[in-house]
A and B are shown apart, each in its own frame.
Chain A
């Protein structure tokens, strides 16, 4: 089974890439693969993940370990299950530091306190000794972020960092990530199914469907004037607070395909209103439609006037 297929993107320092898609579209697998973290030992992957020109995936285990946590760090979706329940949070941050740097316990602990303060947790001196279950969901995620930032990574991959949190806390966490990004100049890959999150916090957006990137471009362009029928459908199916109340949401017909049995040709064609004969024959590749904006839809790429309205019709 192929969870992810033909994905390609690049990211510069200080920039933010948003990876959007429904659950099962392969965005998490793609982000885990970047650190060689896909779970099953039987996973095969082809391709390369280049960090300053070095292919991360073909590195020996020890070299890969040196990159994990130090140059590329990750924040996961559910902070309660992603933090070890039986270790104090400070211990877990200290462990991240001491894995990569030879520092005394005392110095590492002082740094852990500083980090916990940086991510906006009040009274960090006592919180370092808390266990994860003693903290609120938002604070746990802040601890995860503190742990990820412990070694000032060049890239932070945040896999659905706010999906398990309350809406009010979501905004705080995302603001925190933006602030820390400004301070450290790290690149951020934000994986989310939440288009609102992506629209607000990313420079670049890649939309994934059935393991492939179907649209890729600057954030405001992809979210504001999407061209791929799937992106348009995705945007049309979320409610807009500022729209008139009478507006009906337009769901995408059908449901996402299983990765085990993908449709022939373009994986989206059975659900696509613009589908043509040719869509069943060939897997579309990303085509440049305007500077920096690519879509994997030959139909729209050849005739831009066919593009669907992204906002629900009023």
Chain B
């Protein structure tokens, strides 16, 4: 009986998950992602159309502009067109040329403005991500293997503290304590000292040190607890008992059996969080005055620069959509039981 049932499984190749259903799934997901991006930009468009912060044409025309001039500016910006026509033109440009339009203020293409600010945002996000994982992984393992121990309690307490402490507050505390200009114990460059990595790697790392720590702390505790929780659960599974019965050492049991199962959901969540942060970290970039996409978003909102806001939102949404896609693929690769 058994032998007969196994036929299809035997014929399935080693690379079963790269076969057509999986590819089909990814294609479907990408199509949905594109649709999602259209919806997101439409909603942003709509919000600013219904609730205009100020009339861009008046802002653009300058002081004491004549009504004729304002109308002229309005026409040149395409703002005299009906709403749907405006959106159609905008979306068309985005799709065909990835043209996000021109900033109302600097007259520089929004795409260039964002791309030039991306390295700073990516530096903040990636550095913080690596740091928080480097903290969370060992701490999580430690708490899982020694539940209710002192380490466990300290981690739980620290998690609650850093989770409830707002990032901007932590950031300001760090600056007041350690920044070279205003700090009590000047150790390190303060706010607004960011230099690109290509100019000065040491200065780059120094300027991002506190942003990384502040951002990482907010996540590290949470991830440590999640890893600890998952690992504790995994270590109670039957397959861990099997691993013990095979005569494996504790280190191997934890690393190859426990963590293998415990980390799968964590990896997918980490991909999502990283995607979220890559699109710009508004608070950290503002507090530390880092010229990234997050700070650009704040500036554009303050000046009512619609194309810039649109662009930032679209970029952020793009990163999130990509992150979800990556998370799903990672999950399928990591957990062989996932099927599409």
Contact, CB under 8 Å: A82 / B239: yes
Contact, CB under 8 Å: B243 / A66: no
Contact, CB under 8 Å: B247 / A81: no
Residues of the A chain whose Cβ atoms lie less than 8 Å from the Cβ of B261? 84-86
Q: Cα distance A96–B3 when bound, in Å?
A: 25
Instruction: State how many angstroms separate the Cβ of A69 from the closest Cβ of chain B.
Output: 4
Q: Cα distance A263–B264 when bound, in Å?
A: 47
Instruction: State how many angstroms separate the Cβ of B225 from the closest Cβ of chain A.
Output: 21
A85/B9 contact (C-beta < 8 A), A73-B245, A78-B238 known: no
Q: Cα distance A245–B312 when bound, in Å?
A: 80
Whether B249 is near chain A, meaning CB under 8 Å from some CB there, is yes
Whether A310 is near chain B, meaning CB under 8 Å from some CB there, is no
Contact, CB under 8 Å: A169 / B1: yes
Checking A73, A86, A133, A138 against B334 with a beta-carbon cut-off of 8 angstroms, the contacting residue is: A86
Number of interface residues of A (CB under 8 A): 44
Contact, CB under 8 Å: A135 / B6: yes
Instruction: State how many angstroms separate the Cβ of B226 from the closest Cβ of chain A.
Output: 18
Q: Cα distance A67–B248 when bound, in Å?
A: 11
Whether B28 is near chain A, meaning CB under 8 Å from some CB there, is no
Whether B12 is near chain A, meaning CB under 8 Å from some CB there, is yes
* A10-18, A124-132, A199-207, A273-281: which lies at the interface: A124-132
Instruction: State how many angstroms separate the Cβ of B131 from the closest Cβ of chain A.
Output: 27
Residues of the B chain whose Cβ atoms lie less than 8 Å from the Cβ of A129? 14
* CB < 8 Å A-B pair total: 103
Q: Cα distance A87–B252 when bound, in Å?
A: 14
A136/B5 contact (C-beta < 8 A), A76-B241, A81-B239 known: yes
Q: Which residue of A lies closest to B244 (CB)?
A: A37
Q: Cα distance A123–B8 when bound, in Å?
A: 12
Contact, CB under 8 Å: B245 / A122: no
Checking B2, B6, B10, B260 against A84 with a beta-carbon cut-off of 8 angstroms, the contacting residue is: B260
Q: Cα distance A87–B12 when bound, in Å?
A: 16
Residues of the A chain whose Cβ atoms lie less than 8 Å from the Cβ of B63? none
Instruction: State how many angstroms separate the Cβ of B118 from the closest Cβ of chain A.
Output: 35
Checking B10, B245, B337 against A69 with a beta-carbon cut-off of 8 angstroms, the contacting residue is: B245
Instruction: State how many angstroms separate the Cβ of A307 from the closest Cβ of chain B.
Output: 39
A123/B242 contact (C-beta < 8 A), A87-B260, A138-B2 known: no
Checking A68, A81, A134 against B9 with a beta-carbon cut-off of 8 angstroms, the contacting residue is: A134
Contact, CB under 8 Å: B336 / A86: yes
Instruction: State how many angstroms separate the Cβ of A206 from the closest Cβ of chain B.
Output: 21
Residues of the B chain whose Cβ atoms lie less than 8 Å from the Cβ of A37? 241, 244-245
Whether A168 is near chain B, meaning CB under 8 Å from some CB there, is yes
Contact, CB under 8 Å: B2 / A68: no
A122/B10 contact (C-beta < 8 A), A76-B241, A83-B242, A85-B239 known: yes
Checking B12, B239, B260, B335 against A83 with a beta-carbon cut-off of 8 angstroms, the contacting residue is: B239
Q: Cα distance A277–B35 when bound, in Å?
A: 82
Instruction: State how many angstroms separate the Cβ of B232 from the closest Cβ of chain A.
Output: 13
Whether B150 is near chain A, meaning CB under 8 Å from some CB there, is no
Q: Cα distance A86–B83 when bound, in Å?
A: 52
Quick one: CB contact mask for A21-40 with B, threshold 8 Å, 1 for yes?
00000000000100101010
Contact, CB under 8 Å: A130 / B9: yes
A99/B242 contact (C-beta < 8 A), A86-B261, A135-B6, A169-B1 known: no
A96/B2 contact (C-beta < 8 A), A37-B241, A82-B239, A134-B12 known: no
Q: Cα distance A83–B237 when bound, in Å?
A: 10
Q: Which 7 A-B pairs have the closest CB atoms?
A: A69-B247, A68-B247, A81-B238, A69-B246, A84-B239, A74-B245, A131-B336
A interface residues, Cβ below 8 angstroms from B: 32, 35, 37, 39, 65-70, 73-74, 76, 78, 81-87, 95-96, 99-100, 121-123, 126-127, 129-131, 133-136, 138-139, 144, 147, 168-169, 172
Q: Pull 8 A–B residue pairs with CB atoms less than 8 Å apart, ordered by A.
A: A37-B244, A68-B245, A84-B243, A96-B247, A127-B6, A139-B6, A144-B242, A169-B2
**What 13 new A-B contacts, CB under 8 Å, besides A37-B244, A78-B238, A122-B3?**
A69-B246, A69-B248, A81-B238, A82-B238, A84-B260, A87-B260, A95-B246, A95-B256, A96-B246, A122-B10, A130-B9, A131-B337, A139-B6
